[in-house]
Structure 1
Amino acid sequence: MFRLSILLLTLVLSAMPTAMADDHDRALPTLDAALIATGQFDYTTTLVIGDTKLEIESRRHIGRDLDEQGETILLVETVTRSGMGDTTERLELDAISLLPKKQRVAQGDSTMSADYSESQVTGLIRAAGQVVPIDLKLDAPAYGGEAALEAVLTALPLASGYRTRLRAMEIDVEQLVRRFAVIVEERETIEVPAGEFDTWRLRLDALDGLGGSQVLWIGVEAPRVLVRAQGFIPEEVGQGSLITELTSWDR
């Protein structure tokens, strides 16, 4: 799903059972970053809570570039427009492992900067006149959240019956490593504003009891694109739904 504000990196969804202890340091799944589609992608996210309906427009560019050290990266840049103002995000991922390297987010006067390694995340969040340090120690490598996690899901060896587990970081005022199960449910042809797509429908199930589960539809044919994502907002937040759909793809 797309970022709605600096201090709301994800909407909390339905809770799931606790994971096995070995999820804390199990090997991350095999990826093929070459499967990820590049270009410009437009999405519309529809948020419905009770009688309130909000549409959020996002434009994302995905491409390969060089970082400051001259190393190849997958660069993901997103601009999100909503009633809360525009949010811009620049995300640098390792071009092969898709582990995060650097992240910069800005929304009005609020900013977040984070630098990643396999053992630690450091940085600062500046919002509402407050400065919150980012300092998360990692027991094992973990993927990034949101756009970074979507890239990872796109690069998995998706097939009927495929399943795996992975770790993803949530960087906010509170910083933690989340654990998820990925399960491919079925192959499904769906239609969104960008057209008709043959997709894998997969579940992303939170395993740590903290919510955040989603259903995602990812294109079958390479290069793969995220076509649709759906989550459900719990009763304590207001109960509702959150659906993101691809509206255009400029290759």
Structure 2
Amino acid sequence: DVTNELVATAYVDDRVRIYWKNPDWENDYKIIKSKLPDKELNVASTTKDERLWMIVANSDREPGARYLFDRDTKKLTYQYSVFDKLPRAALAEEKPISYKSSDGLVIPAYLTLPVGVAPKNLPLIAFPHGGPWGRDSWGYSSIAQFLANRGYAVLQPNFRASTGYGKKFLNAGNNEWGQKMQDDITWGVKYLVDQGIADPKRVGIMGGSYGGYATLAGVAFTPDVYAAAVSIVGPSNLLTLLNSIPPYWESIRTIFNERMGNPNTEAGKAQLVRQSPLNSANRIKTPLLVVQGANDPRVNKAESEQIVVALRDRGFPVEYMLAPDEGHGFARPINNLALFTEAEKFLAKHLGGRSQESVSPAISTRLAEIMVDPKTVVVAKKVEVSPSSPKPAAELTPGTSTYKASLSAGGQTIPMDVTHTVSDGNGVWVVTETAQMPMGTMSDSSMVSKGTLLLQRRIIHQGPATIEVQFADNKATGTMSMNGQSRPISADLGGVLFADGAGANDAVAALPLAEGYTTTFRNFDIMAQQVKPRLLKVEGSEKVTVPAGTFDAWKVVITPAEGIGETTTIWVNKADRRVVKITNVLPQMNGAVATAELVK
């Protein structure tokens, strides 16, 4: 409060509990509570003298209403509600429940039942939360309400490893992915079946991120429990998930190794392999809808497709949604609408709930674009990349070019001006790119060998950060410095690096490009400190118009050999090998697109 004294402490278990320290605040809170008895209340803001409070009131059937409270007059005045067109009377009650898991541990959960239907032999959706180090809380849940509206009972379990229930409960989930953590969900289903609420033949499971993993684990490890499943960006390979953590998140990596399992030990790796649903895909027989973002940096698209193929080839129902403009989670509204339109139809087909028959033209169009016929899915084969590099057909040309560039993400576009310079550096080419952005300047300099165009050194400056890396004897060594602190860079490359850093596009343009030309090479992801094999293919030629003019150009597409990483498209002028346009799709930025066009 204005005296900087503690007003109250709040604890969240089934509901919020408040222990007041300030009696005046407590009295006013009780006045408001008497007028809004079924709501959770939060003082969102106050005037400087704390006479006026802005109150947010919410509940399981109230997404959020705002009130102004005058502490002098004790008058509470309604202001507005979010989602004001949503009929509150049609919403379902969310009840806190608890049950015992396989080892007797009591699991807290929330149960939402459809309105106007007897709670007997209902189709059930288990909806585990993401994280997994998070929790569900009592309050308005759009997904639970959506599913309840379609006739399903909805179970939201706070399985062990959920936060907010103390360290013992949190630590009980250590190394238990797919095991006791999964039991906590399974035993919740059994509890509702035993209570007569759920029909054991019409149980589904659905979730995103960790909830997607739990969905895949549910159908892989307990295939007889579920009659339908929807996995949304769910990791199926825990080793891939852990490998996606960059070295500069070392403290987070330590936590993951402690909580999930340590892939650097023989026992830990064996455990993670065992707990990965991908390795038990041959046991899945539940109808499954797999939802994937093509640019997901944590969930390998190829591994999701292996699960799709495993069900398809064994004759079990499987559907596949692949959004080319999404990453680890769907951000675009049209994609979310398409996702839940398809999910409700899928669940209705296999569990007997309701689904809306009419679909808007925009959603129908989007579904046609992102639903993939499982018959067309081909599991990508591992590509062997030679430790040597492709041989250039030309040298670099000294000079300076300018590009008009932009970065588009989340509906916003950031403009950039890029200056690209190639100069003779006494035995090496020095290629420097300087980008002027609204948030400052970034420069990237690469030194590449003449003739071979192999990367020897790279220096990056951006704000307070500086990265310097040397590449020699198939090793990368250097430092990453920021605000007076440095981290070492050290990695075994297994070969030489080509078309990497500031000179990457120049090196590509120097290759013997022709219709159908293909090659492979290595890049080095500095932040992840991992080698990234790349595939290059000339996909024909195009007339390209950019600010510098119209050019007859080779269209060169560079993709990640292992299914994870950015996709780069480069247009190279046939006449003089100048790079006239570049696009990069960046999965690490949830599918952001960087574009650069030649100005002069």
**TM-score, normalised by the number of residues in structure 2:** 0.36
Distance 1:142 1:160 in 2: 24
In the alignment, does 2:520 pair up with 1:165?
A: yes
Q: Does 1:216 align with 2:570?
A: yes
Higher Rg: 2
Residues of 2 paired with 1:193 and 1:152: CA distance?
A: 23
Structure 1 residues 240 and 168: alpha-carbon distance in aligned structure 2, compared to 1, 3 A threshold: closer
Give the counterpart of 1:226 among 562, 579, 584.
579
Answering whether residue 514 of structure 2 is matched by residue 154 of structure 1, we say no
Residues of 2 paired with 1:241 and 1:138: CA distance?
A: 28
CA contact (8 A) 2:418 2:433 kept: yes
Q: Deviations over 1:163-197 (max 9, x none)?
A: 1111111222x211111111111111211011121
* Per-residue deviation, 1:149: 2.2
Partner of 1:203: 557
| Structural mapping, 1:168-183, within 5 Å | 168-172=523-527, 174-183=528-537
Aligned equivalents of 2:593 and 2:421: distance in 1? 26
Residues 61-100 of structure 1: pairs in structure 2 closer than 5 A: 61-66=421-426, 72-100=427-455
Structure that is richer in helix per residue: 2
After TM superposition, list the pairs within 5 Å mapping 1:1-251 onto structure 2: 13=295, 20=382, 22-23=384-385, 25-34=386-395, 36-66=396-426, 72-143=427-498, 145-172=500-527, 174-222=528-576, 224-234=577-587, 237-248=589-600
Q: CA deviation at 1:215?
A: 1.5
In structure 2, the residue corresponding to 1:148 is in which secondary structure?
Answer: helix
Q: Normalising by structure 1, report the TM-score.
A: 0.82
Q: 1:232 to 1:103 in 2, by over 3 A?
A: closer
Look up the SS of the partner of 2:505 in the other structure.
Answer: helix
State how far apart, in whole Å, the 2-side matches of 1:160 and 1:144 are.
20
Q: Secondary structure at the match of 1:22?
A: coil
In the aligned structure 2, how far is the partner of 1:239 from the partner of 1:32? Answer: 33
- Residue 90 of structure 1 and its aligned partner are, at CA, apart by 2.4
Give the secondary-structure state (helix, strand or coil) at the position aligned to 2:507.
helix
AA partner of residue 207 (structure 1):
A
Give 1:37 deviation, angstroms. Answer: 3.4
- Count, aligned residues: 228
Q: Is the 8 A contact 1:144 1:169 kept in 2?
A: no
Q: Which has the higher contact order (CA 8 A, sep 6+)?
A: 1
Q: 1:16 to 1:230 in 2, by over 3 A?
A: farther
Q: Is the 8 A contact 1:58 1:80 kept in 2?
A: yes
* Structure 1 alignment gaps of length 5 or more: 1-6, 67-71
Structure 2, gaps ≥5 residues long: 1-247, 249-293, 303-379
Contact 1:190 1:198 (8 Å CA) reproduced: yes
Q: Which has the higher strand share?
A: 1
Percentage identity across paired residues of the two chains: 23
Residues 96 and 19 of structure 1: is their aligned pair in 2 closer, same or farther, counting only changes over 3 Å? farther
- Structure 1 residue 38: Cα displacement: 2.6
In the superposition, relative to structure 1, how do residues 233 and 122 fare at CA in structure 2: closer, same or farther (>3 Å)? Answer: closer
The answer as to whether partners of 1:16 and 1:211 remain within 8 angstroms in 2 is no
Alignment-mate amino acid for residue 28 of structure 1: S
Distance 1:240 1:76, change over 3 A: closer
Cα deviations by residue, 1:123-153 (Å, 9 ceiling, x for unpaired): 1111255311111112222225232321221
How far apart are the structure 1 equivalents of 2:381 and 2:580? 28
